[in-house]
Homo-oligomer: A and B are copies of this chain.
Amino acid sequence: MAQESRPTLATVAAHAKVSRQTVSNVLNSPEVVLPDTRERVLRAIAELDYRPNVVARQLRTRRSYVLGLRMPPTTDGISGQVLDRFLHALTDEAQRAGLRVMLFTADDDEAEIREYENLRATTGIDGFVLTATHEGDPRTRWLADHDVPFVSFGRPWDDAGTGDGTSHEHAWVDIDGRAGTRAATRHLLDAGHRHIAFLGWPEGSGVGDDRHAGWYEALADAGLAGDAVVHRTMDDGVAQGAAAANRALVRDDVTALVCVSDSIALGALAAVRELATSRPDRAPVAVTGFDDTPVAGAVDLTSVAQPVGDVAARAVELLRAQIDGRPDAVNRQALIEPYLVVRGTTRAPR
C-alpha cells in the first residue's frame, strides 16, 4: 500500500551514521571495513530491508550480469524439447550464479547478430548463450571479433582444415553424441543382437554424423563393421522414420535399429509393431532413440538422454569466468557424456 520509495545507500548511511561509501564497502569488500562498523552497517541494512539497485550499479560499473539467449526456433519436431529443457536448466544455473537470462528472437543468423549489437549498445548485456551452432556459423565469428563473452551449446562444426591455424576456439559445451550411440549399440550387442542397422539423417550435419560414428565404432569394436547397414532419411520426422525402418527391415537378419532421434525412432517403432503383427514368425526388433524426450517415456522407448543440467551448469561457469575477466580459469570446451535410459523396446523379447 505505502508508496514510499525504497531505501538507498544514503538512507542506510544516515541510519548507521557512516558515509555512503562505507556502506558500499560493506557490501563489496567487507574486509576493508572495521568489524565494529561493519556490524553496525549490516544491522542498518537489515532493519531497513535495503537492497542495492542493480540498475544504478550497472550504470556505474558497466556490468549487467545478464545473459542473452535467442529463443530457440520452435522446430515443430519432437526433439525441440531438448532445447526447452536446456533453457530451464540454464535459467536455474544462471540464477544460482548470480546471472539472469533475457530472451530475444530473431529470424536468422544475420538478424541475431544485429540483435547482439543492439542489446549490447542499449542494455549492456554481458554475454550470450548460443544454441544450434552449424557449419559456417557467422555468429561465433562476430562475437569473437567483438570480444563479447559467449558460450555455445554445440561444437563449432567447421572443418578444422579450413580455419586459420590459430585455433581461436571459442568456449563451448556439447553432448558427446558419438558416445551416446556407442552406448546404445553396445547395449544391443550385449543383448545378443548381431545385425544392428542405423537410421540417420542425411550426411553432412555435424550432429548426425557424430551419432552415426558412435554406432559404427561399436560395431567395429565387435568386429561386425563389415555388415553395417545404414539408412538415411530425408529429414527428421516420424513418417520418415517409419519409411527408413521399413527399408532396413527388408533384410530378415536385422533385429535392432539404432535411431538418430526420438522422432525417427517413434516412426521406426510403428513400423516394427506393424511388422510384428504381419509376420509373427520373425524375431522381435529392438529400437533405440536419441534425446529421451517425454514421448520416449510414454511409448516405453529406450533412448539416449542428454544431461542438459550438466551442460547448463558448465555453460554458466564458462560465461561467468569470461565476464569476470578470467577467460582461461576453466577449460574452454566441455564434452558431456550422455547416458542410456533402458526401456521396453530393448528388453528381452516377451
Q: Which residues of the other chain, B, contact A237 by a CB distance below 8 angstroms?
A: 298
Q: Which residues of the other chain, B, contact A84 by a CB distance below 8 angstroms?
A: 74, 80-81, 84
Q: Which residues of the other chain, B, contact A64 by a CB distance below 8 angstroms?
A: 55
A124 and B54 alpha carbons, distance in the complex (Å): 8
A299 and B56 alpha carbons, distance in the complex (Å): 53
The reply to whether the CB of A248 lies closer than 8 angstroms to some CB of chain B is no
A238 and B296 alpha carbons, distance in the complex (Å): 11
Query: Are B122 and A103 in contact (CB-based, < 8 A)?
Result: no
- The residue on B at minimum CB distance from A1 is B145
Q: Which residues of the other chain, B, contact A73 by a CB distance below 8 angstroms?
A: 88
Q: Which residues of the other chain, B, contact A54 by a CB distance below 8 angstroms?
A: 122-123
Oligomer: number of copies: 2
Shortest distance from the beta carbon of A98 to any chain B beta carbon, whole Å: 11
B-contact 0/1 string along A267-298, CB 8 Å cutoff: 10000000001000000000000000011011
Q: Which residues of the other chain, B, contact A85 by a CB distance below 8 angstroms?
A: 74
A95 and B104 alpha carbons, distance in the complex (Å): 7
B-contact 0/1 string along A63-82, CB 8 Å cutoff: 01010000101101110110
Q: In chain A between 15 and 62, which residues have their CB closer than 8 angstroms to a CB of chain B?
A: 51-56, 58-59
The reply to whether the CB of A87 lies closer than 8 angstroms to some CB of chain B is yes
- The residue on B at minimum CB distance from A66 is B102
- The residue on B at minimum CB distance from A96 is B105
A74 and B105 alpha carbons, distance in the complex (Å): 22
Q: In chain A between 288 and 316, which residues have their CB closer than 8 angstroms to a CB of chain B?
A: 294-295, 297-299
The reply to whether the CB of A247 lies closer than 8 angstroms to some CB of chain B is no
23 A–B pairs (Cβ distance < 8 Å), ordered by A: A6-B121, A51-B121, A51-B122, A53-B124, A54-B122, A71-B91, A73-B88, A74-B85, A78-B294, A78-B295, A78-B298, A80-B84, A81-B81, A81-B84, A87-B103, A91-B105, A95-B105, A100-B102, A100-B103, A101-B103, A266-B298, A267-B298, A295-B295
- Can you list the 5 inter-chain pairs with the closest CB atoms, starting with the nearest? A238-B298, A84-B84, A91-B103, A101-B103, A51-B121
